Amino acid sequence: MASQGTQGYKLTSSPQLYFSTHDQPFLEHQKQRTPSLRLVPSQSRTSSDGISIDPTMARQGTKRKIDHETSDSSIETPLTTDMIVEKARQILQRVSNSDKIDKDSRKKATIGIFGKSGEGKSSLLSAILGKQNFVPSGCFGACTAVITQVEANLTDSNYTAEIELFSKEEWEKELTIFFRVREDDSEDRNEELIEIAVEKVTALYGADADQKTLEELKNDEKFAKIESFLSTSKKIISNSNLSEFTDDVASYIQHSESSPGDWFWPLVKSVTIKIPDCNEFLEHIVLLDLPGTGDCSKTRDDLWKSKLAECSSVWIVSDINRAITDRDPWGILKHCIEELGPGGKCKSINFICTKTDDMNQQEYMRSARLPRDQIKDQKKTCILHRNEHAKTRVKEKFQNSEIKKIFNTDNQFQVFTVSSNAFFDCNLNLESSETEIPKLQDDLRTLNKSINRELARDYVNKAKGHLSWIQSGQFDKDKKTIEMKDNEFEKNLKKSLTELDKYFDSIYKDLEQCLSKGVEEAVNSCVASTKKLITPNKDGRGFHKVLGALCKNYGCYWSKNRDVILDLNKTLAKHLHKCIYNDFCQIFPVSGKTGKSVQEQIDKFSIIQSDSAYPRSDILHYIQNFIKIEETKLKAALNRDIVDIKKGIYSSIQITIVNEMASCYQQAAAVTGTGSMKRMQELLITTVDNKKHDMFNKAKMELLKKFTNLKLDILKALKNELQEVIKSSQSQTSEKTRMDVSREIEELERLLEQLSDCWSLYNKKPKRNGTNHKGNITTAQ
Ligand SMILES: Nc1nc2c(ncn2[C@@H]2O[C@H](COP(=O)(O)OP(=O)(O)OP(=O)(O)O)[C@@H](O)[C@H]2O)c(=O)[nH]1
Ligand SMILES: [Mg+2]
- Cα dist from 452 to 106, 280, 552, 776, 780, whole Å: 11, 10, 46, 16, 12
pLDDT value of position 406: 67
Task: Pick the ligand that lies closest to the CA of residue 128.
Answer: 1
Give the distance (Å) from ligand 1 centre to CA of residue 117: 8
Give the residue, by CA position, lying nearest to ligand 1 atom 12.
118
* pLDDT of 730 higher than 90: no
Q: What's at 661, amino acid-wise?
A: M
| Residue 421 Cβ < 6 Å to ligand 1 | yes
Relative orientation angle of helices 437-472 and 618-669, to the nearest 10 degrees? 130
Relative orientation angle of helices 477-486 and 676-731, to the nearest 10 degrees? 130
Q: Tens digits of per-residue pLDDT, 2-30?
A: 333 322 222 222 222 222 233 355 565 55
* CB of 590 closer than 8 Å to CB of 540: no
Give the residue, by CA position, lying nearest to ligand 1 atom 27.
138
**The CATH number of 109-167+233-435 is which of 3.40.50, 1.10.110, 3.10.580, 3.30.365?**
3.40.50
Q: Tens digits of per-residue pLDDT, 687-715?
A: 999 999 999 999 999 999 999 999 999 99
- Paired sense of beta strands 109-114 and 313-319, if any: parallel
* CB of 568 closer than 8 Å to CB of 555: yes
- Reported as half-sphere exposure (CB side, CA atoms, 13 A), residue 735 has a value of 0
Distance of CA 630 to the CA centre of its chain: 25
Give the distance (Å) from ligand 2 centre to CA of residue 416: 19
Segment 339-367 shows an average pLDDT of 87
* CB of 568 closer than 8 Å to CB of 534: yes
| Residue 136 Cβ < 6 Å to ligand 1 | no
Question: Probe ligand 1: pick from 126, 129, 143, max atoms within 8 Å of CB?
Answer: 143
Residue 775: which residues within 8 A CB-CB, separation 6 or more? Answer: 628, 762, 763, 764, 765
| Residue 30 Cβ < 6 Å to ligand 1 | no
| Residue 137 Cβ < 6 Å to ligand 1 | yes
Query: What three-state secondary structure class fits 287?
Result: strand
CA angle in degrees (0–180, nearest 5) for 378-384-387:
140
Give the residue, by CA position, lying nearest to ligand 1 atom 30.
355
Phi then psi dihedrals of residue 405, to 5 deg:
-60, -25
| Residue 120 Cβ < 6 Å to ligand 1 | yes
Segment 23-51 shows an average pLDDT of 39
* CB of 218 closer than 8 Å to CB of 138: no
Question: Probe ligand 1: pick from 123, 132, 150, 290, max atoms within 8 Å of CB?
Answer: 123
Task: Pick the ligand that lies closest to the CA of residue 423.
Answer: 1
Please give the Cα distance from 346 to 110 (Å, whole number): 9
Q: Tens digits of per-residue pLDDT, 660-692?
A: 999 999 999 998 878 888 999 999 999 999 999
Query: For residues 403 and 727, which has the higher predicted lDDT (pLDDT)?
Result: 727
Q: Tens digits of per-residue pLDDT, 519-564?
A: 999 999 999 999 999 998 776 777 888 898 899 889 988 776 666 7
Please give the Cα distance from 216 to 223 (Å, whole number): 10
From its phi and psi, is residue 729 left (phi > 0), alpha (psi between -120 and 50) or beta? Answer: alpha
DSSP E strands in 355-497: the ranges are: 413-417
Hey, where are the domains in the chain?
A: 109-167+233-435, 168-232, 489-731
Phi then psi dihedrals of residue 89, to 5 deg:
-60, -40
Give the distance (Å) from ligand 2 centre to CA of residue 148: 9
Q: Tens digits of per-residue pLDDT, 593-620?
A: 889 999 999 999 998 876 555 556 677 7
Give the residue, by CA position, lying nearest to ligand 1 atom 6.
120
- Reported as half-sphere exposure (CB side, CA atoms, 13 A), residue 615 has a value of 22
pLDDT value of position 199: 82
Task: Pick the ligand that lies closest to the CA of residue 291.
Answer: 1
Give the distance (Å) from ligand 2 centre to CA of residue 477: 65
pLDDT value of position 37: 25
| Residue 425 Cβ < 6 Å to ligand 1 | no
The alpha-helical segments, DSSP class H, found in 184-241 are 191-205, 214-219, 221-229
Residue 325: which residues within 8 A CB-CB, separation 6 or more? Answer: none
Task: Pick the ligand that lies closest to the CA of residue 292.
Answer: 1
pLDDT value of position 771: 31
| Residue 119 Cβ < 6 Å to ligand 1 | yes
| Residue 435 Cβ < 6 Å to ligand 1 | no
| Residue 123 Cβ < 6 Å to ligand 1 | yes
Which of 185-189, 204-208, 606-610, 664-668 has the largest mean confidence?
A: 664-668
* CB of 346 closer than 8 Å to CB of 407: no
- Reported as half-sphere exposure (CB side, CA atoms, 13 A), residue 739 has a value of 23
Please identify every residue whose CB atom is under 5 Å from ligand 2, which is an ion: 121-122, 143-144
Residue 526: which residues within 8 A CB-CB, separation 6 or more? Answer: 572, 575, 688, 689, 692, 696
Task: Pick the ligand that lies closest to the CA of residue 138.
Answer: 1
Give the residue, by CA position, lying nearest to ligand 1 atom 7.
120
Q: What's at 277, amino acid-wise?
A: D
Secondary structure of 515-579 as H, E, C letters: HHHHHHHHHHHHHHHHHHHCCCCCCCCCHHHHHHHHHHCCCEEECCCCCCEEEHHHHHHHHHHHH
Give the residue, by CA position, lying nearest to ligand 1 atom 14.
120
* pLDDT of 56 higher than 60: no
Secondary structure of 98-162 as H, E, C letters: CCCCCCCCCCCEEEEEECCCCCCHHHHHHHHCCCCCCCCCCCCCCCECCEEEEEECCCCCCEEEE
Full-model pTM? 0.78
Give the distance (Å) from ligand 1 centre to CA of residue 425: 15
- Paired sense of beta strands 9-11 and 109-114, if any: unpaired
| Residue 318 Cβ < 6 Å to ligand 1 | no
Task: Pick the ligand that lies closest to the CA of residue 118.
Answer: 1
* CB of 500 closer than 8 Å to CB of 492: no
* CB of 164 closer than 8 Å to CB of 269: yes
- Paired sense of beta strands 39-41 and 9-11, if any: antiparallel
- Please return the burial class of 72, using the count of CB atoms within 10 Å of its CB with bins 0-12, 13-18 and 19+: exposed
Give the distance (Å) from ligand 1 centre to CA of residue 685: 43
Give the distance (Å) from ligand 1 centre to CA of residue 354: 8
Question: Probe ligand 1: pick from 137, 420, 435, max atoms within 8 Å of CB?
Answer: 137
| Residue 270 Cβ < 6 Å to ligand 1 | no
Give the distance (Å) from ligand 1 centre to CA of residue 326: 20
